[in-house]
Structure 1
Amino acid sequence: MDPMIIMARLAPKVVGPLVRKLLVRPGPGAFLVGRPLRIARLVSFRGEQRTLGEREVRRIAAKLVERAVTPLPGATGPARERPVAPDEDRAVTDALSRTLWALGDLDTEIAQDARLEAGELARQLRRAAPDAARELTGDGAELHSVLVDTAALHILNHFTQLTGFVARTVVENRRTLGRIDDTVGALAARLPSRSAEDAAFEAQYALDTAVLHSHLTIFGLDLVHSPDSWPLDAAYLGLRCEPEPPAADRGGAPEPAVPAEHALSGLCRVLVRGVAGSGKTTLLQWLAVATARGELPPALRRALYGRVPFLLPVRRFAHHGLPSPGAFLAAVCYPGAEAQPPGWADRVLRAGRALLLIDGVDEAPEDRREALRRKLRDWTALYPGNVWIVTSRPSAVRADWLTADGFTELSLAPMSREDIAAFIQRWHRAAAQQAPDDMDRLPHYERTLLNAVRITRDLGRLATNPLMCGMICALHRDRRGYLPNGRKELYEAALSMLLERRDRERAMGTTDGIDLPRQPKIQLLQKLAHWMLVNGRSEMDREIAVDTLAQHLPAIPDAARQGDPEEIYRHLLNRTGLLREPAPGTVDFVHRTFQDFLAARATVQRHDFGLLLNHAHLSEWEDVIRMAVALARPDECAALLNGLLAPRPGIRAAEARHRKLLAAACVGHAAELDPEVRHRVRRFTRDMVRPSTVAGARALGWIGPIVLEMLPEPAEVSDDEAYLLAVTATSIADDMAIDYLAGLRKRTSPDVRAQLAGAWRRYDTARYAREIIAHLDPDELFFPVADTEELHALRELGGRPYLQIAGEFTVAELIDGIVPADGLVRLWLAYGLGASMAWLAAFPRLEELRISGRLPPVTGVPEGIRVVEL
């Protein structure tokens, strides 16, 4: 049973009049007497003003139950389900009537300051009628609980509207009722009357969407009898998003990264940026399945419940542009596309009931992205009321690319140390569920890997997204606890694992009669990746793939003598774990990162560095060029870097700057490089690493730790420039940044201090606390705490007067961890606690409570604490 569905059915405009029948209005001046009134004197079935009896109270209870079990008009799927079986309605009605009758037994006072809250009133009702729900089943008891909570809210709301009554909770109660009203209104607007044909197709489409996207491939879980994919429910690691402030935004403590469902809450148009492997596609897949099932987290229920999800990967139509609504399902090769009623998708969009998930703007060629943006602008105007979530790699589109069209920009945050540890633990638990031969060694692998990512800097830098984390877990296990160093070595080892050991570990023979060694497989896969690179594609037609292999097979005799191009293609598809057919007649790589790596290998082997230099200003070539530098010989590497620095005809100033910064980013990937070339790169880029805007400062972090050596000395710059340098340095999630940031820790500028405090979760907790947090002037500065380790670190430093709650805590953890209790002056909730704020009474000097805008209003705030909603 979904309580949100029940609450949606219990519309205040219907429930309110029913509950008010249980109550009477006190006489004039009742609240002006010296003593407050008691609830028992205000019910309509007790005392001198009695108008109802037990039979009438039961009728009211029966009507409330009837409303709770009756679906809203037009509801489908879970929204149509009954919370209890029909034969349980009577039992729930009996229990509710006995609980409501207990109102007449309450000795509770209704005072002018309304210290009583709806939750407490509901608890008192249950205590007054302890046996009322004893005979109910689990679902029946839950329905009874929801109805009691709803009735208590309306009872108190009735009292707050009485003449002479001045209530602290009037605003809070009315906000709660308003949220229920809004939810009902939003659901009703999304569920207009539809034809039986539309409703039937929609129900089937929801079921199919949940099935088609309910599994995802987590790299590395395809060895030692493990499955090729993971159930989404088990695999989805709660990704975190952080806001992308406008380019000119600065000042104040930054909003922390929060779970994606909280960041997306209340937003109708969102652009989510994330690096390769950060989980962009997984996030959209999870949203599609959760919406199709109607199993949404509370933060997203109101916005997404009842919507129809359309997951549209841009790679499927990169060269033809977004399809028309009628072609959505065909474009993504949905098996039931031909069964959709004519005009159905357009009707869904015009009714404002769709969830549009447009994945991978960076997959479109650069010269077509502007057309894609115009189409999004036109569609959001033509189809208001829908929810649009678009994803892209960070560098593929400029800052504020969709801001003018009403889109909010978010970024998928790098996995924190806690996220990485959680992923590693979950990965090993999933592997253990397959009862592999190395079951007894899995706990050891898990412990040693957790320790390795904590103490090995290079490994920690690599394991910042789900793709790389999964790869590291698989390689660590495959190599029995040994891991290669560096990104190039990691990918080489991954190819070896997939192409050479995969079938052997899974005890699979040559079922297709083909047994290719590792090197020929790599050579053939490189040909496909190189074709995609040159042609600006992220997938290719099956016929083109077979023809490409046919062109190159004669030069690879180990492959040519084992089968024709079609047979070799099928072998690569079924046996390498790197290719897939996302739709009939098309093929792509399981992840763009592998395509880029293999394309870089092919380009280096062909000595086609001119191709790389001709395209170095394009964002989709960045990773290919960086990997090419890692793969090239020293002289080739030097030529490539010098080529990036050299003037080039037809290149705009911004593109020339991009090429030079790319050269700086590549230096760290070179295994061997002439010192003179390294010095030349730094000389050319030294003046370019003095950012003049927040967006420019943030973009410099893309270069990596090497930029720290190029930034100016912190002591030699103004406060304004120091702030921009802090933005750049804190964008580099490497503990090397702490040494540079230490030069900024004595600054008195509020902007600099807030930037340093807000970056804590990116680094080693103890070291950052010791070297940065301990030295920041606490005056008017909010210190964020995202976990108990950070809370303990602040406690060791003697506490801080201003705190920002930036992670998931229990009330007990905060009361115990915020020390000294009388030292807390201001508290900022950037992360919901899901509890009454009455616990704040434990902090006697607390003056102000700040609430981030994406959180719901709080209740139970002790008297004397000012609430500020941001």
Structure 2
Amino acid sequence: MDPSVLGTRLASSAIAPLLKKLFAAPPPGAGLVERPVRLSAWVSFRGERRTLSDAQVGKLATHLVREAVDSPGERPFPADEEAAVADALARTLLALGDLDMDDVQAVRLGHRELARALYTGATEAGHGLAPDHHLSADAALFLASALEWACLHVLQFFTQRSTFVARTLVAQSRDQAEIIARLDALITRAPRPDARHASFERRYRDHVAAKHGKLTIYGIDLTSTPGTWPLDVAYLSLTSTEQTDPPPRTGPDPDPTRHFRGPLPADQVLATRSRVLLRGVAGSGKTTLVQWLAVSATRVAPDGPLGHLHDLVPFVLPLRTLTRHGERLPEPRLFLTAAGSPLAGAQPEGWADHVLTAGRGLVLVDGIDEVPEAERARTRAWLGDLLTAYPDNRWLVTSRPSAVRENWLAADGFAELTLSPMNPADVAAFVRRWHAAARHDADDTARALLDGYERQLLTAVAGKPDLGRLATNPLMCALICALHRDRRGYLPHGRKELYEAALAMLLSRRDRERDVLTTAGQELRQEPQTQLLQRLAYWLIRNGRTELVRERAEAIVGEALPAVPEAAALGDARTVFDHLLLRSGLLLEPSPGAVTFVHRTFQDYLGARRAVEEWDIGLLIGHAADDQWEDVIRMAVAHARPRERAEILDGLLSAGDAAPPGRERSRIHLLAAACLEQATELDPAVRDRIGERVNALIPPPDQEAARKLAAVGPLVLDLLPAPGETDEEVSRMAIITASHVDSEAAIPYLAGHADAASLDLRSQLVWSWHRFDTHRYAEEVVARLDPEELYFSVQSEAELLVLGELGGRPWVQIRTAGITPSAVAAYVERHRPTRVVLDAARGDHCVPWDVIRSLSGREELCLALLHTPLSPEEWRGLAGTPRLTQLMVSLTELDTLPEGCVFQDLTWLIVHGPASEEPLDVSEFPAYFPRLTHLGVNTTEGGETPLRGLDALPDTIEVIHY
């Protein structure tokens, strides 16, 4: 019943005077005191001006209810509940005496919010029991309507008081003065730009959108169709993950502490974080994402999915360009100059400083891994200085996974995320999009062929595991699509064969397919081009660069021309280099005078071939621990002949053995194991020696070692212990390793553990769901897990939907950032879980009230609210949440727990945070948590957090230190 409908039942002229009795008559004047008078001082049933007793308030409520029931029309609720409704209304109205606000604040709040505040207050006064907890649905609905209707009259009464207008004017004056002061401070901090700034910014945005708004799709330009496409057409949405592994357990634990951060759409990484270090393997789409964010910032709507980028000014800073000559990294006024922007000369004085000072910058620093290792500390210092000077902007830094250590930027508040490999659904979407682009402007015959190729390739990537292992990122998918069409349905199987085929396509067939001739009508064959390109690639690798100046490139080509007469026949070094730049499809000129390969993977592949031809084995082994040389060494093993291959691998083993125990030694030995995938023929004795080193690493001793071991790739799956052959802890480490292998090939291995009885193993399998194809993993792994005491963690609506298709599960853990309240409500209503964990512990920074309200109240509720600031009002709201049995919060938030806030159903309380010099006083916990049985304390720094008042805790509470 809407309050307006209820109002037609009750005559306002008769009822309004009754409600006025709730308040004592105020004195005249504007109410100007040092602190505004709260409502509790004016209610007539409390304080010195008490004129109504609680019983009289009850009679008033009874009269209101009786008037509504006796009025014409259908009875709003059963007759036997009339007294209960009147009592509930009286309890709720009495909560006026506990509201911490004045009349002006109440009017601003509005009648509906005031009614909600009274309802919450009455629930708290009832020790967690809502005033309508014993009412039927019809009676509860009437109570809500009557309360809102009463609040309308209460607010009307406030506005008619003699002091209200004056108090309102005073409050408005104070608010205006505060706003003016804040605006003055803002203007002082960020002076208003002149017209030149605005004009240049519009021009700069247009330039960024045009420059970065196109994406190269490999192989499309083999015919008359263009090779670049609008970014918004060709862009494939990427996914990132951020995982936190659970702490070790002691004692019984229903695992509410275990949670994930992610998966998250990669273009949303800056939505809730202002600073992100994003890792991704070669070809995973880091630079494409940088382009997408830069272009989006120039045109995104404020209310769209990327609204957090609205009005930001993008600065794209490719480190390979900024460090081309080893020069000092630029300050903001030189950003455009260093990046080679043609608008650098038109930039108004102070424009970049103004943008960054105002916090309107989107700073995209691309390619930490493309900075020589010796210069990364300098790059770190440069970033630190920028962050100190301009802290309020959004920052994205990209890197290959192993280029910098974990938490490299954590001290500056950077979250660390990793671009996920493409799952089968992503690959299928990419294949369709690639072929759609290829069909653009093609004739009917070509379109029909492309339709057939698309269907054939979709079938192949879904059914061939070896092909699926290659199609893990956008670059490899593009090459596969291009080669599949170029070879009319035939595809190479291994990585080396794929690159060889790609080079043949780009260097040899590309110009022939497009009927393009070289200078003087001559055609340069593939091998001479390869010889020159690999010299350029090897120079870049040896010098730790991914970009060089044109003059140096021409000099390298000139030095090689006497040995490559077929290329020398085209002309001098400049002419030959121009041919390579324009015709090879492998080189780019990102800015005038700069040269780079279209992708780092081609540089590594060609450089490795040159290293083998030069037989620089000492140089290769000397860089075994350098992340920039990892792919070079692996490709060198692929290029080498069997005896040469054995020598390289023996050298790796010796280098690993000589390295000090720890990360470097393990890394080199694992690199040798990873090279086995490229070793089609190898001395068995060498293979055995590698196996000995690998056996020392497998099984991994801890979670960090398990994740590092996964970097070896699918090969490691054959080295892990078979399911059921080892103890529980070894099996758990093996599952962690397999779940981090970037390939669907890990699913069969993980499925082998699905029948495990151990809760730890089953939990680990559930947490790995998000890394693989949702449906396949659900069918092969999730569906087989014993649900006994197991939380089925879901991080997306797709996973929640699939879990529902499996019939639902009794315990479910929901990552609230990725799932809407309506989806949660639909799942709960249909499958009736007995326990629900809402995990808002990372990245949300707010209580998920919408999701909490979507629950039915029949299930047990567990909440994870780490790093979520809680106000006293939110604490009270949580205390009144039905069937809240488990709660995880940060240590510091317990300081805001208000007195008198009682959690009637809570049995588990887990607190997280750094060890503090001030001990945590737990002596009062039984008053706040009368049913508490377990108190878990986890410190981020390790060790036990000091606790004070343990002696005051009853023996029924078990204290657990993580």
Aligned match of 2:207: 208
Contact 1:253–1:781 (CA under 8 A) maintained in structure 2: no
Residue 586 of structure 1 corresponds to 594
Aligned AA (2:861): E
Greater gyration radius: 2
Aligned pairs for 1:27-426 (under 5 A) are 27=20, 29=22, 34=61, 157=110, 159-161=112-114, 165-166=118-119, 193-245=192-244, 252-295=258-301, 298=304, 300-302=306-308, 304-318=309-323, 319-426=326-433
CA shift for structure 1 position 691: 2.8
SS in 1 for 2:220: coil
For 2:362, what is the secondary structure of its paired residue? strand
Distance 2:820 2:483 in 1: 37
SS, match of residue 119 in structure 2: coil
The answer to whether the Cα contact below 8 Å between 1:516 and 1:558 also exists between their aligned partners in 2 is yes
Q: Are 2:238 and 2:419, in contact at CA under 8 Å, matched by a contact in 1? A: yes
CA displacement 1:378-406 (0-9 Å, x = unmatched): 22122221221100000111111111222
Q: 1:730 to 1:648 in 2, by over 3 A?
A: closer
Unaligned runs of 5+ in 2: 1-15, 24-56, 69-88, 93-105, 125-178, 250-256, 890-962
Which of 821, 825, 841 is residue 831 of structure 2 equivalent to? 821
Conserved 8 A contact 1:748-1:777 = no
- The question of whether the paired residues in 1 share the 8 Å contact of 2:656 and 2:664 is answered with no
Moved more, 541-550 or 373-382: 373-382
Q: Structure 1 residues 35 and 628, CA, compared in 2 at 3 Å: closer, same or farther? A: farther
Q: Which residue, 431, 451, 466 being the options, matches 2:438?
A: 431
Shift of 1:809: 7.5
- The alpha carbon displacement at 1:411 in A equals 0.5
Q: Which residue of 2 aligns with 1:627?
A: 635
Q: Structure 1: how far apart are the matches of 2:295 and 2:836?
A: 40
* Amino acid in the other structure paired with 1:265: A
Q: Deviations over 1:398-447 (max 9, x none)?
A: 11111122211011111122111111112122222232551012222222
Distance 1:27 1:568, change over 3 A: farther
8 A Cα contact 1:799 1:818, kept in partner: no
Instruction: Provide the C-alpha distance between the structure 2 equivalents of 1:164 and 1:604, rounded to a whole number of angstroms.
Output: 75
Which residue does 2:780 correspond to in 1? 770
Give the 3-state SS of the residue equivalent to 1:595 in structure 2.
Answer: helix
CA contact (8 A) 1:581 1:587 kept: yes
Mapped to 2, the partners of 1:378 and 1:36 lie a distance apart of 70
Distance 2:656 2:709 in 1: 22
CA distance in 1, matches of 2:660, 2:574: 44
Query: Quick one: which amino acid aligns to residue 272 of structure 2?
Result: G
Normalization by structure 2: what TM-score?
0.68
Contact 1:277 1:468 in 2 (8 A): yes
Check the 8 A contact 1:589/1:595 in 2, yes or no: yes
Question: Within 2, Cα distance between the matches of 1:169 and 1:364?
Answer: 62
Task: Indicate how the Cα distance of structure 1 residues 780 and 649 shifts in structure 2: closer, same or farther if over 3 A, else same.
Answer: closer
**How far is the alpha carbon of 1:548 from its aligned partner?**
0.8
Secondary structure of 2:832's match?
A: helix
- Aligned mates of 1:533, 1:168 — CA distance in 2: 68
Q: 1:279 to 1:726 in 2, by over 3 A?
A: same
Counterpart of 1:193 in 2: which secondary structure? Answer: coil
Distance 1:690 1:838 in 2: 42
Shift of 1:299: 5.3
Residue 527 in structure 1 maps to residue 526 in structure 2: no
Q: Which moved more, 1:613-622 or 1:740-749?
A: 740-749
The within-5 A match list for 1:404-803 is: 404-436=411-443, 437-510=445-518, 513-647=521-655, 651-653=659-661, 654-712=663-721, 715=724, 719-742=728-751, 744-745=753-754, 751-763=760-772, 765-766=775-776, 769-771=779-781, 773-784=783-794, 786=796, 791-792=801-802, 795-796=805-806, 799-803=809-813
Q: Which residue of 2 aligns with 1:848?
A: 861
Q: Residues 449 and 476 of structure 1 are in contact (CA less than 8 Å); yes or no, is this contact kept in structure 2?
A: yes
Is the 2:299–2:310 contact (alpha carbons within 8 Å) kept by the matching residues of 1?
Answer: no
Do 1:445 and 1:477's aligned partners in 2 also have CA atoms closer than 8 Å? yes
Distance 2:657 2:799 in 1: 54
* Aligned-residue offset at 1:452: 1.2
Counterpart residue identity of residue 812, structure 2: Y
* Identity between Structure 1 and Structure 2 (%): 42
CA distance in 2, matches of 1:823, 1:228: 52
Per-residue CA deviation, residues 465-501 of structure 1 (Å, 9 max, x unaligned), is: 1111111111112222221111111111111111112
SS in 1 for 2:348: coil
- TM-score, with length taken from structure 1: 0.75
Distance 1:452 1:191, change over 3 A: farther
Conservation of the 8 A alpha-carbon contact between 1:243 and 1:257: yes
Q: Aligned with 2:780: secondary structure?
A: helix
* CA positional deviation for 1:669: 1.6
SS of residue in 2 equivalent to 1:165: helix
Higher mean displacement: 245-254 or 204-213: 245-254
TM superposition shift of 1:300: 4.6
In the superposition, relative to structure 1, how do residues 532 and 213 fare at CA in structure 2: closer, same or farther (>3 Å)? Answer: same
Change in 2 beyond 3 A, CA 1:315/1:487: same
Instruction: Give the C-alpha shift of residue 814 in structure 1.
Output: 7.1
Supply the distance in 2 between the matched residues of 1:438 and 1:672 (Cα, whole angstroms): 41
Pick closer, same or farther for the CA change 1:343–1:740 going to 2, 3 Å.
Answer: same
Farther off after superposition, 738-747 or 557-566: 738-747
Q: How far did 1:326 drift? A: 1.6
Secondary structure of the residue aligned to 1:258 is strand
Equivalent position SS for 2:633: helix
SS at match of 1:848: strand
Give the aligned length: 724
8 Å CA contact 1:36, 1:112 repeated in 2: no
Letter in 2 for 1:165: L
In structure 2, do the counterparts of structure 1 residues 168 and 206 end up closer, same or farther at CA, with 3 Å as the change threshold?
Answer: farther
Counterpart CA distance in 2 for 1:385 and 1:112 is 50
Distance in 2, Cα, partners of 1:485 & 1:790: 36
Check whether the contact 2:492–2:498 (CA below 8 A) recurs between aligned residues.
yes
Distance in 2 between residues matched to 1:282 and 1:630, nearest whole Å: 29
2:472·2:743 contact (CA, 8 Å) conserved in 1? no
Deviation at 1:513, TM superposition (A): 3.5
Distance 1:450 1:195, change over 3 A: same
Q: In 1, distance between residues paired with 2:231 and 2:438?
A: 15
Q: Which whole-Å CA distance do the structure 2 matches of 1:186 and 1:787 have between them? A: 45
**Structure 1 position 745, deviation (Å):** 3.8
Q: CA deviation at 1:743?
A: 5.4
SS in 1 for 2:317: strand
Distance 1:298 1:801 in 2: 34
Counterpart-to-counterpart distance in 2, 1:853 and 1:306? 31
Separation of aligned partners in 2, 1:567 and 1:839: 71
Task: Name which of structure 1's ranges 222-231 and 524-533 shifts more when overlaid on structure 2.
Answer: 222-231
Q: Residue 691 of structure 2 aligns to which amino acid in structure 1?
A: R
- How big is the shift at 1:337? 0.4
Q: Which residue of 1 aligns with 2:897?
A: none
Cα offset for 1:369?
0.6
